[in-house]
Amino acid sequence: MKTAEKLSTGWLLTLGFMFMTLSVSAMIEKNTILQPISPGIEEYAPDYVNQDAVYILDNTALYSLILGVPTSVLGIWMALGLYRHSQQEKKAMRLEASDRLQSVFYRLIQENHGRVTVLSFAMQSQLPATTAKKYLDEQAKQFNAHFQVNEDGAVSYHFDV
């Protein structure tokens, strides 16, 4: 479904841009036709305006504008909707990941009576060690945890349960 929405949004934006470009092109061509002939050539070329061409260009500009504006607006509206939807999905995924990490964190604290190491948290949460350490540092600040460093240099966090 999302692929169809993306394709239709792309097509609407492309068509709208093409119609708007056609309208601008017709107006530019009409203005070129209506420009006066350069001085010095007037005597050889009578002052003649092709009214049929001007009429056709006016209609082309008008109809292209009538088709281009709604098509572009609809394409932009759909693109904004897709953008908002993707932002909501990303937010939901971040919230879900945060809830999962918090659940793992609380479970480890409860199982280990308040003692958590970076390695155990990284293994349980399936996070890289640096990310797990940052998360534990943030939690330690929030909950006023104590740190203990063993002989190997590994840090363990002690939370009061």
Q: Dump pLDDT digits (tens) for 90-133.
A: 999 999 988 998 999 899 889 888 888 888 889 989 989 899 88
CATH architecture of 112-161: Orthogonal Bundle (1.10)
Pick the more confident residue, 3 or 1.
3
The one-letter amino acid at 39: P
pLDDT at position 1: 67
CA distances from 82 to 9, 11, 43, 76, 97 (A): 9, 14, 61, 10, 22
Supply φ then ψ for residue 134, to 5 degrees. Answer: -60, -45
Q: Is the pTM of this model over 0.75?
A: no
pLDDT of residue 49: 73
Per-residue pLDDT tens over the stretch 17-59? 999 999 999 999 998 888 776 666 556 656 677 889 889 999 9
C-alpha span between 30 and 59 (Å, rounded): 11
User: Residue 135: exposed, middle, or buried by beta-carbon count in 10 A (0-12, 13-18, 19+)?
Assistant: buried
Q: How far apart are CA 5 and CA 147, in angstroms?
A: 52
